[in-house]
Copies of this chain bind each other. A is one copy, B any other.
Amino acid sequence: MLTIGKLGEAAGVKVPTIRYYEQIGLLPEAERSAGNQRLYGRKAQERLAFIRHARDLGFTLEAIRDLLSLSDKPDQSCAAADAIAKAQLAEVESRIARLIALKAELERMVVQCAGGRIADCRVIEVLGDHALCATDHRHPEVEPAH
């Protein structure tokens, strides 16, 4: 049995994150030691690894919740799991496409900046006027990492 710290180390997940996953019901409530500390066995370890891996692949916690509940029903069809993965793939693809458009526009901006005064700066100028843009990079969906 592992303490929460060892488990986190093993899975590459920070301790508060594990407690958070328990709190939102993604991990079951852990067994406790005599001194009320959480203890984890192999099953919990595998479940956490699953979560971590899915997070690494960009799945949301909601999607992971669904995937986990599917993985608990080995005899059902895997169509639902497949659909979740495909949706995630589509999401990733659309984010890539969008980021590539952004990259092009940022490159244009940066290259054109001659390094003079702000008043002549292409970066500032282009930001002030979308008409100066080559590509149509509107629409949201670009959020950065934490």
* Partner-B contacts on A (CB < 8 A): 12, 46, 49-50, 53-58, 60, 67, 70-71, 73-79, 81-82, 84-86, 88-89, 91-93, 95-96, 99-100, 102-103, 105-107, 109-110, 113, 115-121, 123-124, 127-130, 137-146
Contact = CB atoms under 8 A, between A and B. Distances in A.
Nearest to A121: B78
Given A89-B103, A144-B91, A124 B67 contact: yes
B82 A118 contact: no
Contacts of A77: 115-118
B102 A99 contact: no
Contacts of A86: 110
Nearest to A78: B121
B144 A78 contact: no
Given A55-B140, A57-B142, A82-B110, 17 more contacts: A12-B138, A53-B129, A56-B138, A57-B102, A57-B106, A57-B127, A58-B144, A60-B144, A67-B127, A71-B118, A78-B124, A81-B124, A86-B110, A92-B103, A96-B96, A99-B99, A143-B145
